[in-house]
Amino acid sequence: MVRINVAQQLKAPIGTVRNYELDEVVDIAGSNSLVQGEVSLMRTDRSILARGTLQTEIELTCSRCLSLFSCPLTLNIEEEYLPTTDVISDTPLSLPDEPSYFTIKEHNILDLTEAIHQYALLATPMKPLCRQDCAGLCPTCGCNLNQAPCNCPPKPADPHWSGLSKLVLVDSEASVKEQKGTK
């Protein structure tokens, strides 16, 4: 359940913990993703503290070979949910002047959807790779080198770098001579 009725737990003593299994499809960044895991809700003096580790997968485009792949994400959620109305008298509660919490919606519904969105965004890699050793695209013909090697001739060694390695060699020989000279 992504939307949990916490009326009973708001009435329970501080420290009361309930665990919920999550196995639900959530819309993450425009695609339906299965979110699975366990969330524990704990009654605190002013809120319900939601903690859990959720697994999901989202569709991403590989930054190297540009193919779509499904990227597993782990969401380690820890968020405080404050009630907006008193669970027994149903009167509005004043909320603390701080930005770092979620609120429990009408009818005592604790909705994890927004937290899942935010954590998924944070867990999404900036430069996604379909696999660590993705071979990418051939710069000459553009074919995907993960699927098959192409027939393009190998790139000639960069003259700049070969020149540099000669320089380093000459340099080290010179320093050896120098050292001998000083003895």
Q: Measuring CA to CA, which residue among 146, 150, 149 is closest to residue 68?
A: 146
150 binds Zn ion (CB under 5 A): yes
The token pair that represents 138 in the structure block: 């051939």
152 binds Zn ion (CB under 5 A): yes
137 binds Zn ion (CB under 5 A): no
Q: Measuring CA to CA, which residue among 6, 1, 33 is closest to residue 18?
A: 6
Q: Which stretch binds Zn ion (CB under 5 A): 7-15, 40-48, 65-73, 168-176?
A: 65-73
d(CA 139, CA 1): 47
Minimum CB distance to Zn ion, residue 69 (Å) = 7
65 binds Zn ion (CB under 5 A): yes
Selected binder of Zn ion within 64, 73, 115, 137 (CB under 5 A): 64
Give the contacts of 96 (CB within 8 A, at least 6 positions apart).
46, 82
Chain residues in the site for Zn ion (CB under 5 A): 62, 64-65, 130, 134, 138, 140-141, 150, 152
